[in-house]
Amino acid sequence: MVEKRTPIAVSAAIKQVLEHAFPLGSENLDLEDSYGRILAEPIVASTDVPPFNRSPYDGYAIRSADSAGASGENRIGFDVIDHIGAGEVSAKMLNAHEAIRIMTGAQLPDGADAVVMFEQTVETPDAITIRKPFEPLENVSLQGEDVQKGEVVIDSGSFINPGTIALLATFGYSQVLVAKQPVVGILSTGTELLDVGDELVPGKIRNSNGPMIVAQLKRMGFRCKMYGMSIDRLDESFNVVKKAAEETDCLITTGGVSVGDFDFLPAIYKRLGAEVLFNKVAMRPGSVTTVAVANDKYLFGLSGNPSACFTGFELFVRPALLKMMGAGKLFLPHTKAVLGEDFTKANPFTRFIRASYDGETVSPAGFNKSNAVSSIARGNALIVLPGGTRGFHLGDVVDVLLLGAEEGTDKWQL
């Protein structure tokens, strides 16, 4: 009676999912709305940075040649002939033994090739003396030393972080071309599901996967369309899935993908003519995670177990959505850490365990059955234990995937 499914490895499953990503195109946004988006064009330096030779300090601009031979016993004097604040330009040209008072960030005046910091001078009204010689270009930030005009400073496909915003502002990008975001739909299936505001009744539980996925999408900066909760009737569920698949780039369902009598997603995929990429992954929790494609749109069938649902989203949905936007860094950040307590269960399949990572040690966040809803709210990482292993002990070094990072990494390393 039970349908026989062949599990595929997690890495193979991710690869298959990513092969089916289709691009969403791009759109122009105002710079101020672009944080968190994916660049659909490279950032090109429209000017040198710095755009002119400038002073990195508050002090006096001089001609370095005039300082030759200066020492404690042979202080050399300069007449102060002008005063430049940041943003100002001096109309004067330095002649021998003249200095111009200059503020941090201001453009070096003509003739000057060095800056003496305030604390390197003795100041008198309209004059200074110095006690050391200066090299040509000493204390000068050179035009273009950071970036040269025309250089590609950030590649297309990069995540726009606050520093990227600074760079875009510097180069005058009041608008920026970014990838369009996918339209994602969410449908929770299961007769047992109640809404969050409902009173519990025997046999039923409140739908936690739907709100959780909304938050996982929000964490990525996406909004989504809700298709409510479908009860376990085939025709009704088919109609909702069909409509949702037409209106979105990616439909995420929770539940209904196992081999139970009311797990209708397999039948619905068949009726839709969808190509099922896989329906069994060698992972715990979430081995029934199913991904299908219909009309170049993703149908993610996540498990109804909250931990499995959460993990399925982070492992498969997240990189797929990022790939659709042309992002370069698709995967959860990976590191290694010392296991903080024993975990002695056998791992026939690759096991993902919600965990707390403190930068050195990683420990399971709680009681780790796939339905352990309390552990899901704790912790900031997933421990990954390879399949075919028998148990791990305090002090073992294990693989860790970090959750909630703004940007991921470009390689799947497990």
- Sign (positive or negative) of CA dihedral 253, 257, 263, 264: positive
**Per-residue interface string for the shown chain with a copy of itself, residues 90-109, x marking contact by CB under 8 A:** -----------x-xxxxx--
Are 330 and 317 in contact by the 8 Å Cβ rule? The answer is no
Tell me how many residues contact a copy of itself (CB under 8 A): 114
**Interatomic CA distance for residues 324 and 279, integer angstroms:** 22
- Residue closest to 183 by CA, chosen among 389, 62, 25, 406: 25
Provide, rounded to whole angstroms, the least separation between the CB of residue 102 and a copy of itself. 9
Provide, rounded to whole angstroms, the least separation between the CB of residue 275 and a copy of itself. 25
Between 168 and 282, name the residue whose CB sits nearer to a copy of itself: 168
By CB under 8 A, name the one of 69, 162, 273, 344 that touches a copy of itself: 162
Provide, rounded to whole angstroms, the least separation between the CB of residue 83 and a copy of itself. 7
Considering only the C-alpha atoms of the chain, give the largest distance between any 2 of them, rounded to a whole number of Å: 101
**Interatomic CA distance for residues 26 and 37, integer angstroms:** 11
**Interatomic CA distance for residues 312 and 279, integer angstroms:** 12
**Is residue 88 at the binding interface for a copy of itself, with CB under 8 A as the rule?**
yes
Question: Cα 277 from chain centroid?
Answer: 27
163: tokens are 């520093």
**Is residue 145 at the binding interface for a copy of itself, with CB under 8 A as the rule?**
yes
**Is residue 163 at the binding interface for a copy of itself, with CB under 8 A as the rule?**
yes
By CB under 8 A, name the one of 9, 137, 167, 276 that touches a copy of itself: 167
> In 103-223, which ranges are E strands?
114-117, 121-124, 127-130, 152-154, 175-179, 184-189, 193-194, 205-206
- Residue closest to 327 by CA, chosen among 39, 72, 54: 39
Task: Return the residues of window 18-77 that contact a copy of itself according to CB under 8 A.
Answer: 31-32, 35-36, 43, 47, 49-52, 56, 58
SS3 state at 82: strand
**Is residue 203 at the binding interface for a copy of itself, with CB under 8 A as the rule?**
yes
**Is residue 153 at the binding interface for a copy of itself, with CB under 8 A as the rule?**
yes
Question: Cα 243 from chain centroid?
Answer: 31
Place of tokens 């965990």: 355
Provide, rounded to whole angstroms, the least separation between the CB of residue 44 and a copy of itself. 12
**Is residue 304 at the binding interface for a copy of itself, with CB under 8 A as the rule?**
yes
What residue type is assigned to position 127 of the chain?
A
**Is residue 212 at the binding interface for a copy of itself, with CB under 8 A as the rule?**
yes
Task: Return the residues of window 339-398 that contact a copy of itself according to CB under 8 A.
Answer: 354, 358-360, 367, 369, 371-380
Between 154 and 291, name the residue whose CB sits nearer to a copy of itself: 154
Provide, rounded to whole angstroms, the least separation between the CB of residue 397 and a copy of itself. 12
